[in-house]
Amino acid sequence: MSCCPHCRDANSFFGQRDAAQRLARYQRRGPEGTTRLLVEALCAAGVTDATLLDIGGGVGVVHHELLRAGAARAVDIDASTAYLATARTESQRQGHADQVTYVHGDFVALAATVAPATVVILDRVVCCYPAMAALVAVAAARAERRLGLVYPHDAWWVRLGMRLLNTGLALQRTSFRVFCHPTAAVDAQIRQAGLTQRLRRTRGMWQVVIYERTGAPGP
């Protein structure tokens, strides 16, 4: 069931076949690329007994891994019903389904009802959402200790690649679009919420960034 235009777009773009392929890849090879870097950085910072808020968790790789590493509980809010159902099935297979709450919807629309968590995760989600400031500000405000993100950096060739991808999507008459939000603007939103950058790594078009809370939560 679709709750808003963004969820309709996400449901058609992140569908069942894509979810099944991503899950099969995860089951074969574990977390890949920048998701592996993010998981390793969060584990190194400590996740024992942490609560997790995995926004747009996809098939749930990050929360599956962090729960296995000692996190206590997770909430996964995703705009795609296919991804959410796949993440739930994988939780059952891994034996931690009772530690995860799965919520369908647009996180920005639901944010007022979402409790803060020790660690908030946005793995390749910022690039799916047009209203970056709204998404990042509410996510950062819910991070009690740490925020981990993977999102595209704004080099000219990344912006060009995304423009070409959006042209392809428009030609296919798909309303889903990708966004290369300026790194400085994303960083400013997060700092404004009282978080300080602790780690930044780039891999190809992506950057993996970890922030820690040093001030009071933002609005």
129 counts as binding ligand SAM under rule CB under 6 A: yes
83 counts as binding ligand SAM under rule CB under 6 A: yes
User: Considering only CA atoms, which of 68, 188, 206 is closest in space to residue 137?
Assistant: 188
Beta strands in 92-187 (DSSP E): 100-104, 117-123, 143-152
Q: Which of 20/196 has CB closer to ligand SAM?
A: 20
Window 37 to 66, contacts with ligand SAM (CB under 6 A): 55-58, 61
In sequence order, which residues have a C-beta less than 8 Å from that of residue 124 and are 6 or more positions away?
A: 34, 35, 56, 58, 150, 151, 206
In this structure, is the dihedral angle defined by the CA atoms of residues 185, 55, 57 and 69, taken in order, positive or negative? positive
14 counts as binding ligand SAM under rule CB under 6 A: yes
107 counts as binding ligand SAM under rule CB under 6 A: yes
Angle of CA points 60, 66, 70, to nearest 5°: 140
90 counts as binding ligand SAM under rule CB under 6 A: no
The least CB distance from residue 214 to ligand SAM, in Å, is 26
Q: Which of 80/118 has CB closer to ligand SAM?
A: 80
Inter-residue contact 80 to 10 (CB < 8 Å): yes
The least CB distance from residue 47 to ligand SAM, in Å, is 17
Count interface residues toward ligand SAM (CB under 6 A): 22
User: Considering only CA atoms, which of 163, 158, 83, 80 is closest in space to residue 62?
Assistant: 83
123 counts as binding ligand SAM under rule CB under 6 A: yes
Binding site for ligand SAM (CB under 6 A): 6, 10, 14, 35, 55-58, 61, 77-80, 83, 106-108, 123-125, 128-129
